Structure 1
Amino acid sequence: MTSSPDNPSRRSVARRAVIGGGGAALVAGSAAALLPSGTVSAGRSSNPARAADELAIRQLSVNYALGTDAIGAGDIAGGRALYEQAFTAEATIAAGFDRAAPALVANGRDEWADVVIGAFQSYSATQHLLGTINITIDQRGRSAQMTSYLEATHVLRASQELLIVKGTYIDTVESDRGDWRITERFLQFMSYNTVPRTLPAL
């Protein structure tokens, strides 16, 4: 049996759909109104130029992860080249549980590459997984803040165990005529865990 177009239940459904759509628009408008003045948060920009900037800034964190894993695989030149695409030459880079007293510090991307090369001598491979990347660009479009969640897996050469490091990259990013680079990075460590590297049971 088919329903008539004048069926009251169908009119009720249609009315709820219209009201729901209006409510969604109201919520979206309210959320936009809550954004800080003079900032653009990643994923919310409708400006094509700003959207392109967000993608370029996001790629900086990806370049770093790929460069670090290249060094972990023994490709030092490839890793340094990717660092050049992520950082300014004079970038300040540090890592630790306490930003006021970092465990690792380097002045410049080349010095940081040396730190990574030294630290990775005991690993046979690494994998840096990024997630929850958030970007806020200033109104002038010349600087930005970025945070990226990290889970890094390191294969210990001697034991073949896995060292799992979790943390957050906190970056200051600057634009030189549209060419974005990280000028300051702090890796805020959250946790370290060592687990066996075993194959699943067959």
Structure 2
Amino acid sequence: MKRAVWLATLMWCWMGAMSVQANDHNVAEMLAKHEIEYLQRLYARATDQIGTNVPENIEAGRAVYHRIFTQDATIRASDPSGAEFRVVGPDEWVKVVDGALSVFDSTQHLLGTQIVELDGLPDPDGKGGEGKMSSFLQAWHQDDDRAIDIYLGTYYSKVRYTPGIGWQIYDMRLEKVAGEVIDKRP
């Protein structure tokens, strides 16, 4: 009987050690997914900063873009008609966003469902690590004439881990799903 209890205790301890190792990997994956999701959230806030048309806010948004995008990131946006904007690098995307949002008084970019798929975590030296993310977007834009432009779309982003910086987007495509302009004038 003592031997059975001893073996059961030994087996329980061994199984516990196995689950801790599995949990460490799961925790690393959860943390990576959380950090990756925040890239798109920071992007939405930075885009709204740029949309204020205030020079210091535009620069604050640019700084965030430099943190979340690689310097050689390919960034694209399309609409249902097939028109597409494509640039390389965060500074070029600031120009596109500033031009598109400068006609509005205010904007708000809201993110809904976000799905992250990890292709791999960085190694202990911080090398490697890639994944993909999709994020649903609902954006509101209001202009001087009280018109409200509603834009619904999905961001498709590819990310990789950059040593010394963290997760960054190296390819992002915004696909418009639907939209509506509402005239609020009396």
TM-score when scaled to structure 1? 0.70
TM superposition shift of 1:104: 1.1
Specify every segment of 5 or more residues in structure 1 that has no aligned partner in the other structure, as ranges.
Answer: 1-44
2:50 to 60, 68, 71: 71
TM superposition shift of 1:197: 4.0
**Aligned residue for 1:195?**
182
The one-letter amino acid of 1:167's match is: G
TM superposition shift of 1:97: 3.0
**Aligned residue for 1:127?**
108
Counterpart Cα distance in 1 of 2:73 and 2:141: 25
Highest Rg: 1 or 2? 1
Matched, 1:164 2:150: yes
The one-letter amino acid of 1:96's match is: S
Counterpart Cα distance in 2 of 1:46 and 1:196: 52
1:105 to 86, 100, 103: 86
Could you tell me whether the CA contact under 8 Å between 1:63 and 1:85 is conserved in 2? no
Could you tell me whether the CA contact under 8 Å between 1:87 and 1:182 is conserved in 2? yes
Counterpart Cα distance in 2 of 1:113 and 1:197: 29
2:36 to 48, 54, 57: 57
Counterpart Cα distance in 1 of 2:35 and 2:121: 16
The one-letter amino acid of 1:55's match is: H
Counterpart Cα distance in 2 of 1:64 and 1:83: 7
Query: Runs (4+) of structure 1 moved beyond 3 Å?
Result: none
**Aligned residue for 2:140?**
153
The one-letter amino acid of 1:86's match is: I
TM superposition shift of 1:59: 0.6
After superposition, what is the alpha-carbon deviation per residue over 1:147-202, rounded to whole angstroms, capped at 9, x for unaligned? 00000000123x1110000000000001123710000000010112011348xxxx
Could you tell me whether the CA contact under 8 Å between 1:135 and 1:147 is conserved in 2? yes
TM-score when scaled to structure 2? 0.76
Percent of aligned pairs with the same residue?
A: 33
Moved more, 90-99 or 64-73: 90-99
Q: How does 1:5-154 map to 2 (within 5 A)?
A: 47-73=26-52, 74=54, 75-97=57-79, 102-141=83-122, 142-154=129-141
TM superposition shift of 1:46: 6.9
Specify every segment of 5 or more residues in structure 2 that has no aligned partner in the other structure, as ranges.
Answer: 1-23, 123-128
In the alignment of these two chains, the number of paired residues is: 152
Query: SS at the partner of 2:153?
Result: strand
Counterpart Cα distance in 2 of 1:67 and 1:115: 13
